[in-house]
Structure 1
Amino acid sequence: LDLGMRLGEGSGACLAVNIVRSALECHARMASFAEAGVSDK
């Protein structure tokens, strides 16, 4: 994750933490093809 931040940009770090948490939550809740009912056609 490269946000182009420099030393002392703590507010950007707080934003980055929330971005990573949101991405992990999306990944954890993502359905598999079988769970979503996707056919093999």
Structure 2
Amino acid sequence: MAGGLGFVRRYDRSVWPAVVVESPWAKIRDTEMLWLRIMRGEAR
């Protein structure tokens, strides 16, 4: 988080070398909603 923005970073360790995927920077509220959707299994 920085300046009211945040993102979610994911590491895919099922492949070698590990792949890093990041969401776009977004408002903290939107980033938190994305995180909740990920934790509930509702996001891809």
Alignment TM class, shorter chain as reference: 0.3 to 0.5
Q: TM-score, normalised by structure 1?
A: 0.40
Q: Which has the higher contact order (CA 8 A, sep 6+)?
A: 2
Bigger helix share: 1
Bigger strand share: 2
Q: TM-score, normalised by structure 2?
A: 0.37
